[in-house]
Amino acid sequence: MKDIRSQFEKNGFVVLEDFFQPEEIDELKSCGEEFTTNLPPENERKVFNTIELQQNKDKYFLDSGNKISVFFETEALDDNGKLKVHPRVSLNKVGHALHWLHPTFKKYTFDERVKEAAFQLDYQEPAICQSMYIYKNPGIGSEVIMHQDATYLYTEPVKLVGFWIALEDATQENGCLWIAPGSHKSGVHRRYVRNKDPESKELLVYDRAAPCYQLSNFRPVPVNKGTCILIHGQVVHFSHPNKNDKSRHAYTFHVIETQHTSYSKENWLQPPPGGFPKLYRN
pLDDT tens across 101-155, in order? Answer: 999 999 999 999 999 999 999 999 999 999 999 999 998 888 999 999 999 999 9
In a domain, 27, yes or no: yes
Peptide bond into 157 cis (omega under 30): yes
Amino acid identity of 20? F
Which of 33-47, 55-69, 138-152 is predicted least confidently?
Answer: 55-69
Question: Is the pTM of the predicted complex or chain greater than 0.85?
Answer: yes
Asked if residue 242 is part of any domain, the answer here is yes
Residue 278 within any structural domain of the chain: no
Does residue 274 lie within any of the structural domains?
no
CATH assignment at residue 84: 2.60.120.620
Residue 276 lies in a domain: no
For range 26-36, the mean pLDDT = 97
Q: Let me know if residue 231 belongs to a domain.
A: yes
Of the candidates 7, 1, 32, the residue with the CA atom closest to the CA atom of residue 179: 7
The answer to whether 268 and 194 are in contact (CB under 8 A) is yes
Residue 11 pLDDT exceeds 80: yes
**What was the pLDDT predicted at 56?**
60
pLDDT of residue 111: 98
How many domains in the chain? Answer: 1
Inter-axis angle of helices 4-11 and 112-120, nearest 10: 70
The CA-CA-CA angle for residues 113, 115, 119, to 5°, reads: 115
In a domain, 196, yes or no: yes
Residue 176 belongs to what domain range? 4-263
Give a yes or no: residue 255 inside a domain. yes
